[in-house]
Amino acid sequence: MINIKKYLYKIIIIISILILVLFTYYNIFISHNYHISYEVPCNPFNESCFIRECNEETSEDCADENLNKYYKVIERKVFNSFKCEKDDYACLTCPKYEIDCNTVICDSSLKENNCSDLNNIDENF
């Protein structure tokens, strides 16, 4: 009787793990049901933008000249992002009907955020 309980317990654990793995696989690879975030260009004259600063000592954010100096962060579900063409930034913004889409606004009250304001805008952005 004890062997049957151990065997049944092992079977239940294996089936539970298998169900969990299959559910996760379905959500990630088939339905694309998870959030991503990405940076899109931002106009500092119209909205509060994050500022990308090049750190010469560590060469962070210095290598790619195509990176925009002013950007905002968009968070949305992956299955909604597949509809956009590469570098189609207008498509990447949050439409009003999309519930799970957020635009992260730069909050200058947070110390770690480097935000644009009308006093520190580079005219050559």
pLDDT digits (tens, 9 = 90+) for 86-111: 777 777 788 888 888 888 888 777 76
Helices (H), 35-74: none
Give the C-alpha separation, 118 to 125, whole Å.
13
Helix (H) / strand (E) element for 16: namely helix 2-25
pLDDT digits (tens, 9 = 90+) for 37-60: 888 888 888 888 888 776 666 655
Entry pTM: 0.66
Give the C-alpha separation, 94 to 98, whole Å.
7
Give the C-alpha separation, 93 to 88, whole Å.
9
Q: What is the distance, to the nearest Å, from the Cα of residue 45 to the centroid of all Cα atoms in its chain?
A: 24
